[in-house]
Amino acid sequence: MKARSIFRMILAGLLILAVLTACAPATPQVVEKVVEKPVVQTVVVTKEVPVEKKVVETVVVPEKRTQLSFAGHQYFNMSFGPAPAPLEYMRQVVAEKYPNIDIQLIMQPLDANKWHDNLTTYWMAKDPTVDLLYVVGYWITEFAEAGWLMPLDDKVDPALLAKYDPAYLDIFRHNGKLVALGPAWGGIGGLYYRKDLLEKYGLKPPETYDDIIAACDTIRKDNPDLGCWDWPAMRNVVLVNRWSEFLHGFGGTYFNKDGTCAMNSPEAVNALEFMTMLFKKGYTPQEALSWKEEDANVRFVSGQTIFFTGRQDLLFWIDDPAKSKIVGKWGFIPNPAQPGGRHAGFPEFWAFAVSAYSDNPEEALKVLELWGSLPTMKNFNLAWGPIQGHSDVYTDPDVLKANPNLPLIEEIAKTAIPPLPSANYGEITDLLQAQIHSALSGQISPKQALDDACAAIDVIEKGP
């Protein structure tokens, strides 16, 4: 009988344990290494030896070390230019200045959606695993609103902040508070065109969307097999980025002043109708609806199309004859805008931030400052290419030598539009992806798509 009751107690205990364990959050599986925060101390042990001698043993415990974990993707281990891989360099500068701090990479998936979900999973459980992280501009509102990122304004050296382009820093502000420092690297959308073809037909680089259509009509009369305008329109995050450019190019905005959805304004409907027309009339091939960025890139550099909207990182290899058939035959300009609209490039600007749940906020801030200073930023430029927020990067002779296209990029970077400012960015853009893609594939009318989207977005934004 006694044995049975003991058994019952054990069983009950195990069940409680089981329940408690299950309450713990699911941790993303991509952790490179288990991050440990050792309790560090130096201990002198004095041992009493009862015989003749008294021996003093000094146990040398390794000096106090702090491990900081950094959430980044696999590109941090890669360099595409004349510089070490960023993570290697970032570790190096930390080791030089703060020899007691170790940097641990928590590997994140390349798919930004999954990366986002990993981070939010940590934070919703108030998990301190991540100290430092690499964040993209369009996550800022959501993360800052939830209080997951540490405000930086009065914590980072003002002299360093002053070096950063305020327009760029605005992307990392929420309600006026800076929550990330950067960009350390940024992508921005612009319009690539075939300079040789436009020149041949005496055409100027397009200013408006109508210019593009006109140019295509002229050039394709003689070259019916040539594509007009390619851009990646698969239903994913990038689609909303590209659409934002059209939206602003036609004079639309995301929200009205009162915070209600403005994405079904007449301008916005015009924009989406124009986009839909591109597919309907064959200016953009229907297959583009299943294209990721790399699919569209390949089409342009293999000379199959006249115009292409994409990020500036194509410049890195567009003149590499091994990969490109259009060496020297291209131009890169800001996206077009209709009268009343603005030339808009969607920024995918990535910056460094400190998690609000970090166990070592001071050390993390020190490292953040170090990574935000010129040497590291310069290394980013040389390893990955532009865009960096630190203005001294652009006067550095090494950088100028390595980036012959820098002026072009600076021109386009000026067209950066803010990402959709919502704490529900993920949910809203997901909705927009579906609605826009439905319209582009001709399943519903553009107006209908945007009206439905706005109705749903207003509900999401209003909250319960």
For the bound state, the minimum distance from the C-beta of residue 84 to other proteins, rounded and expressed in Å, comes to 31
440 touches other proteins (CB under 8 A): yes
Strand partners, 187: 348
d(CA 244, CA 419): 8
Report the 3 state secondary structure along 238-269: HHHHHHHHHHHHCCCCCECCCCCECCCCHHHH
| Helix, strand, coil percent values for the chain (each to nearest 5) | 45, 15, 35
Using CB under 8 A as the binding rule, the residues of this chain from 241 to 280 that contact other proteins are none
Determine the interface stretch with other proteins among 89-97, 115-123, 371-379, 380-388 (rule: CB under 8 A).
Answer: 115-123
Using CB under 8 A as the binding rule, the residues of this chain from 8 to 27 that contact other proteins are 11, 14-15, 18-19, 21-22
For the bound state, the minimum distance from the C-beta of residue 14 to other proteins, rounded and expressed in Å, comes to 6
What number of other Cβ atoms are within 10 A of residue 441's Cβ?
15
Choice from 42, 223, 256, 443 touching other proteins (CB under 8 A): 443
For the bound state, the minimum distance from the C-beta of residue 62 to other proteins, rounded and expressed in Å, comes to 37
d(CA 110, CA 93): 25
Phi, psi of 68 (to 5 degrees): -110, 135
Nearest in space to 150 (alpha carbons), one of 315, 365, 322, 429: 365
C-beta closer to other proteins: residue 82 or 147: 147
Rounded CA Rg of the chain: 27
For the bound state, the minimum distance from the C-beta of residue 428 to other proteins, rounded and expressed in Å, comes to 10
Phi, psi of 73 (to 5 degrees): -100, 180
113 touches other proteins (CB under 8 A): yes
First-to-last CA distance in the chain? 55
C-beta closer to other proteins: residue 85 or 434: 434
Choice from 77, 100, 405, 424 touching other proteins (CB under 8 A): 424
For the bound state, the minimum distance from the C-beta of residue 339 to other proteins, rounded and expressed in Å, comes to 31
C-beta closer to other proteins: residue 24 or 60: 24
Contact set with other proteins (CB under 8 A): 7, 11, 14-15, 18-19, 21-22, 113, 116-117, 120-121, 124, 146, 234-236, 285-290, 295, 299, 304, 424, 426-427, 430, 434, 437-441, 443-444, 463-464
